[in-house]
């Protein structure tokens, strides 16, 4: 069971989370609980570090921001104990959750869940574990896993103790066909495959962190997204509560052609016009951006009729738009291109569905529907189970609603 920041925002919410845990314990389940810091606490700790020194030691930053989860775990353990549940809190280093030493964005290397399992069996003890953190074995220093890292901690712990399921309790009651704030007719999905969820998470859906879905897929940990605000006493612990199960494709009996529509407005488009079409040019362009730690997403290359030059169009995060243009500007003479065009008022709309593997014409239907609405497509990229379109940001909501209706996701 994993509870996010909004689910443990204050003592009332922590008591509510404890009732969810108590329900599962009373049903005879062995329970490990992963908690995030109380809502807003991590932001406060990050700001304290920045105020102390703009260029601070990443190792000390981790020592500071990891403390938020420690408070949440201790408080939940106290509340559980006061309600008669045997429980204790664990910090990441006590288990231990072993990570690499990339402070601020560490990756989990190994977790030994044997002590947790022994305590389940010998004492019936609930383990309340700090999310978002671990330890680098060689240096003995606390590490953190980056934003959303508690989701990753939860799935990793679930794999380590061979859990039947990893329940992610959050402020929404599941994964929807698109953002309900944009399309009121969006539906909650009962099941979604790991691959589809991976695409949704990486393309703008904020329900789960991408790395947690990757871990679930690699370790075959079924993930259940559900609301912590459902009344604990109204839920049958042996039944299937409202929520979305993320699982293997084989578990989904009825596969829809399209499962969901994701979108992101945090995109910027850069086009390099009439660049020399010769080996090494693309490597020089994208190598320079990589060295500047600028992520490149959609890439479209168009060869000119003379075969001597090419146009390269790609997207970067909107926050990196000016920096990317500055980096590329330095390479105008060495690389040799005519001009640089850019726009940061764009959006990326992505259509996802494992059913696309066996259905032709799915993308063509979208192009036609958007054209009828007067929406111009700037760029297109495709993969086996998704396609993404770049459009003007002003048309984002109209495009999402149009495609949501086109593929019958509102029915």
Query: How does pLDDT run across 125-184, given as a tens digit for each residue?
Result: 999 999 999 999 999 999 999 988 999 999 999 999 999 999 999 988 999 999 998 999
Query: How does pLDDT run across 308-360, given as a tens digit for each residue?
Result: 888 889 999 998 999 999 998 887 777 778 888 999 899 999 999 988 888 88
The Cα angle at residue 5 between residues 83 and 20, in degrees rounded to 5:
30
d(CA 146, CA 248): 26
Please say if the pLDDT value at position 97 is more than 90. yes
- For all residues of the chain together, what is the average pLDDT? 92
| Residue 193, phi then psi, degrees to nearest 5 | -75, 155
| Check whether domain 260-406 has CATH 3.30.2130.10, yes or no | yes
Query: How does pLDDT run across 249-289, given as a tens digit for each residue?
Result: 888 876 788 999 999 888 899 998 888 878 888 888 899 89
Residue 107 makes CB contacts below 8 A (sequence gap 6+) with 99, 100, 145, 211
d(CA 307, CA 339): 18
Residue 76 in contact with residue 32, Cβ under 8 Å?
A: no
pLDDT on residue 204: 64
Domain boundaries, the chain: 2-250, 260-406
Read off the pTM: 0.86
- Distances in whole angstroms, Cα of residue 276 to Cα of each of 143, 228, 271, 306, 329: 45, 56, 14, 11, 15
pLDDT on residue 216: 96
pLDDT on residue 334: 78
* Confidence label for 368 from pLDDT (cuts 50, 70 and 90): very high
| Residue 341, phi then psi, degrees to nearest 5 | -110, 150
Kindly report the CATH class assigned to 2-250.
alpha beta
Query: How does pLDDT run across 189-221, given as a tens digit for each residue?
Result: 999 999 999 988 887 667 888 899 999 999 999
């Amino acid at each position: 069971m994993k509870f996010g920041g909004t689910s443990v925002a204050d003592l009332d919410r922590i008591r509510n989370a404890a009732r969810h845990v108590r329900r599962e314990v009373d049903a005879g389940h062995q329970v490990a609980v992963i908690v995030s810091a109380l809502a807003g606490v991590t932001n406060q700790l990050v700001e304290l570090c920045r105020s102390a020194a703009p260029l601070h030691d990443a190792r000390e930053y981790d020592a500071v921001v990891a403390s938020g989860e420690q408070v949440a775990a201790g408080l939940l353990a106290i509340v559980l104990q006061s309600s008669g549940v045997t429980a204790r809190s664990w910090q990441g280093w006590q288990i231990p959750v072993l990570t690499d030493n990339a402070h601020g964005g560490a990756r989990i290397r190994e977790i030994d869940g044997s002590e947790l399992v022994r305590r389940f069996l010998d004492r019936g003890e609930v383990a309340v574990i700090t999310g978002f953190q671990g330890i680098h074995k060689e240096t003995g220093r606390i590490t953190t896993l980056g934003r959303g890292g508690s989701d990753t901690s939860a799935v990793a712990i679930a794999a380590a103790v061979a859990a039947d399921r990893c329940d992610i309790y959050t402020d929404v009651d599941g994964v929807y066909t698109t953002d309900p704030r944009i399309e009121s007719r969006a539906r909650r999905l009962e099941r979604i495959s790991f691959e589809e969820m991976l695409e949704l998470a990486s393309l703008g859906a904020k329900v789960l962190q991408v790395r947690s879905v990757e871990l679930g897929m690699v370790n075959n940990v079924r993930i259940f997204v559900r609301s912590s605000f459902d009344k604990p006493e109204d839920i049958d612990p042996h039944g299937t509560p409202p929520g979305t199960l993320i699982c293997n494709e084989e578990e989904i009996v009825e596969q829809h052609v399209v499962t969901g529509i994701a979108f992101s407005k945090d995109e910027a488009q850069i086009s390099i016009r009439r660049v020399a079409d010769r080996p090494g040019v693309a490597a020089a362009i994208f190598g320079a951006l990589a060295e500047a730690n600028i992520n490149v997403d959609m890439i479209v290359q168009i060869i000119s009729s003379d075969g001597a030059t090419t146009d390269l169009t790609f997207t970067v995060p909107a926050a990196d738009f000016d920096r990317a243009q500055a980096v590329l500007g330095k390479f105008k003479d060495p690389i040799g291109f005519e001009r640089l065009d850019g726009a940061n008022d764009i959006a990326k709309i992505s259509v996802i569905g494992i059913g696309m593997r066996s259905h032709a014409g799915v993308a063509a239907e979208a192009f036609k529907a958007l054209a009828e609405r007067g929406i111009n497509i700037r760029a297109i990229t495709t993969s086996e189970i998704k396609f993404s379109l770049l459009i003007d940001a002003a048309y984002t909501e109209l495009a999402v609603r149009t495609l949501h209706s086109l593929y019958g996701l509102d029915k």
